[in-house]
A and B are shown apart, each in its own frame.
Chain A
Amino acid sequence: MIPLPPLAPPGVLVEEALACDAAFFPTREHYADLAAALRADGFEMCVDVCGVDYLEHADRYVPEGITPTRFEVVANFLSLSRRLRVRVRVQAGNDAPRVDSLFHVYPGTEAPERETFDMFGILFDGHPDLTRILMPEEWEGHPLRKDYGVGHVPIQFKEAPGPR
């Protein structure tokens, strides 16, 4: 169990989540504050930011007091000095998911947040340049959402019928 950082904002839960290291479940308002507290507490690096769409897995485990929403943003922090990892899972909302950007605390989150926006349509408030990064600019939809269909090419087992 990783102790709460001394500057942690109120309303943040710590959980020894399933099969993982410690995970913090802040509320959306406290997400950026928690990141700043972690930064001050010696977590020098935000390794990764990614999103998850829990549309088809709504009954997942979340601690008491946290309302699960469809979209979740997961950020992984690393402390090089203490050799610790910490994961922060914030519920981003159902229909119009948005969370605060960590760009001003950890500038290295710029590209991962853009990718999360591109793939899930989760908005990051305060991000300097929230544009698509992997998909073309005029692309419609956000491909990693669960209600976004998977394209496929039908497998042809027999010779194709001729033109006549």
Chain B
Amino acid sequence: MSDDIRVANRPERLTVETSEGAQELIRRVDTGTDQLGREVGAVLRLDGVSLDPRQVDYERRDDETMIINMGPAHPSTHGVLRLMLELDGEFVLRTKVVIGYLHTGMEKTGENLSYVQGATNVTRMDYLSPVINELSYSLTVEKLLGVEVPARATWIRMMMSELNRVSSHLVWMATNGMDLGSTSMMIYGLRERELILAFFEKTAGLRLNLNYVRPGGVAADLPDGWEDDVEVICNTIEERSYEYDQLLTGQPIFRNRLVGVGAITAEEALALSLTGPLLRSTGVAWDLRRSMPYLAYDQVDFDVIVGTYGDNFDRYALRLNEIRESIRIIRQCVQKMPAGDYRSQDPKVTPPPRARIGESMEALIHHFKLFTEGFHVPAGEVYSAVESPRGEIGCYLVADGGPRPYRIHVRAPSFTNLQAMPLLMRGASVSDAITMISTVDPVLGEVDR
């Protein structure tokens, strides 16, 4: 009979089921020194700097502070991020990030998919920049395969990933505006993003999880009249980016919420392995497109935007200007787009055209082998990284010579960037916490994978 009692009537069972146990923030007295150091944001252990976290607000007692949960269902946490905050009044003392609510085991799934299918898997990790996810995966597989990708495919990839960067930053502008109470910015950002998604749909057939960049090239050539479409997108978004400027940049409420809030230094950012806008906002000009060029980024002209103070406003201004730089790159891609194949003609990697299957025995065999077994990748292990809108997205691949990856690991920038939360939060008020989450720009699909 006891099993029939509803769970809600047994509070002790309810707490067990909703608790993450040791992953949560615990009482200060029970917390180890290193762990406390993490939670108060004393992460920096560079030479000559040592900080005993027990000395940080040592006068606080557990009964003076309050531990609250923010998330995982809080609308401003961009998904299912859960932050446990220790508060003194309105100010944050300790922070702990609890993640895993969206974990779907994509790395394990990737081990059971062939290399061709793998792109559909990785594209769902960072759902705001699918092309760049596929790109990092495809470059890694190609590095192991040793396949030469035609020039047109490279330039198409570059153009699509820049379009994707613009759309991702537009979503960021939108959600950031939303978090700060500017609902018009949210509508504008999503409206402009729609232009890019419509172009994606025209090119790849899908709006969000494109599966467009594949090992060996891209899935389809650009549609007829693509130059005009891209021109319209570039002109519209560039013009409107100045409207966002007018709407937000000088706006006193907006500035008060951002300027000087959540500042980090370059040393702290490097120590915490932060990449992308978070690192560049501190003044470190580290952009993989410039520093370790991949695709044809060494043949286009663009500026790496850096900030000065590493605060929230720098991160906002940096992303707004990156939209303009990406548009510069897209325009050059349109000008310089070479003619030729959009995918490698290696029959071991690329399926033959449909018409050839009826004529050629070999084409039929290749087609059959590719879609049943997939291609084999020589044994080895490789790591390659590209610059996503959120930082360095890397793919570590171990191949055992079979048709499926032996191990696929994605170095997700949001996952690592979330380590900055305790540092950013310390001393900030709860309302600033929402701004911090927003400017770190985590995509929870990628954090949890």
Partners in one complex: yes
Given contacts A57-B400, A83-B292, A106-B273, contact A143 B20 (CB under 8 A): no
Residues of A within 8 A of B381 (CB): 17-20, 52, 74
Taking a contact as CB atoms under 8 Å apart, the answer to whether A137 and B22 are in contact is yes
CB of B144 closer than 8 Å to a CB of A: yes
- Stretch of B236-244, B303-311, B324-332, B407-415 that contacts chain A: B407-415
CB of B56 closer than 8 Å to a CB of A: no
Taking a contact as CB atoms under 8 Å apart, the answer to whether A150 and B112 are in contact is yes
Taking a contact as CB atoms under 8 Å apart, the answer to whether A19 and B20 are in contact is no
Most chain A C-beta atoms within 10 Å of own C-beta, residue among B20, B35, B273: B273
CB of A28 closer than 8 Å to a CB of B: no
Taking a contact as CB atoms under 8 Å apart, the answer to whether A53 and B271 are in contact is no
Taking a contact as CB atoms under 8 Å apart, the answer to whether A128 and B292 are in contact is no
Smallest CB gap from B284: residue in A: A80
Given contacts A48-B411, A110-B419, A133-B100, contact A18 B35 (CB under 8 A): no
CB of B62 closer than 8 Å to a CB of A: no
Taking a contact as CB atoms under 8 Å apart, the answer to whether B400 and A60 are in contact is yes
Residues in A23-81 with C-beta less than 8 Å from chain B: 44-48, 50, 52-53, 56-57, 60-61, 74, 76, 80
Taking a contact as CB atoms under 8 Å apart, the answer to whether B380 and A20 are in contact is yes
Question: What string of 1s and 0s marks CB contacts (under 8 Å) between B277-300 and chain A?
Answer: 000000010100001100000000
Q: Which residue in A18, A80, A103, A132 is a CB contact (below 8 Å) of B379?
A: A18
Smallest CB gap from B285: residue in A: A80
Smallest CB gap from A84: residue in B: B292
Taking a contact as CB atoms under 8 Å apart, the answer to whether B273 and A60 are in contact is no
Taking a contact as CB atoms under 8 Å apart, the answer to whether B286 and A19 are in contact is no
Q: Which residue in B103, B382, B406, B411 is a CB contact (below 8 Å) of A20?
A: B382
Q: Once the chains are docked, how many angstroms separate the CA of A52 from the CA of B38?
A: 27
Question: What string of 1s and 0s marks CB contacts (under 8 Å) between B368-396 and chain A?
Answer: 00000000001111110100000010101
Residues of A within 8 A of B398 (CB): 52, 57
Q: Which residue in A48, A111, A135 is a CB contact (below 8 Å) of B103?
A: A135
CB of B322 closer than 8 Å to a CB of A: no
CB of B276 closer than 8 Å to a CB of A: no
Smallest CB gap from A105: residue in B: B45
Residues in B1-46 with C-beta less than 8 Å from chain A: 19-23, 32-35, 37-38, 43-45
Q: Could you tell me the distance in whole angstroms from the C-beta of B289 to the nearest C-beta in chain A? A: 13
Q: Once the chains are docked, how many angstroms separate the CA of A85 from the CA of B385?
A: 10
Given contacts A47-B394, A80-B284, A143-B108, contact A107 B21 (CB under 8 A): no
Q: Which residue in A44, A57, A76, A80 is a CB contact (below 8 Å) of B394?
A: A76
Taking a contact as CB atoms under 8 Å apart, the answer to whether A107 and B383 are in contact is no
Residues of B within 8 A of A115 (CB): 415
Residue positions of B touching A, CB distance < 8 A: 19-23, 32-35, 37-38, 43-45, 99-100, 103, 105, 107-108, 112, 143-144, 146, 270-275, 284, 286, 291-292, 378-383, 385, 392, 394, 396, 398, 400, 406-407, 409, 411, 415-416, 418-419, 448-449
A-B complex: 6 closest residue pairs judged by Cβ atoms: A108-B273, A128-B34, A137-B21, A18-B380, A134-B100, A48-B411
30 contacts between A and B (CB under 8 A): A17-B380, A18-B381, A19-B146, A19-B380, A20-B382, A44-B270, A45-B270, A45-B273, A50-B396, A50-B409, A50-B411, A56-B406, A60-B400, A76-B394, A76-B396, A85-B292, A106-B273, A108-B271, A109-B273, A110-B419, A119-B107, A128-B34, A128-B35, A128-B38, A131-B21, A131-B23, A132-B23, A134-B100, A134-B449, A150-B112
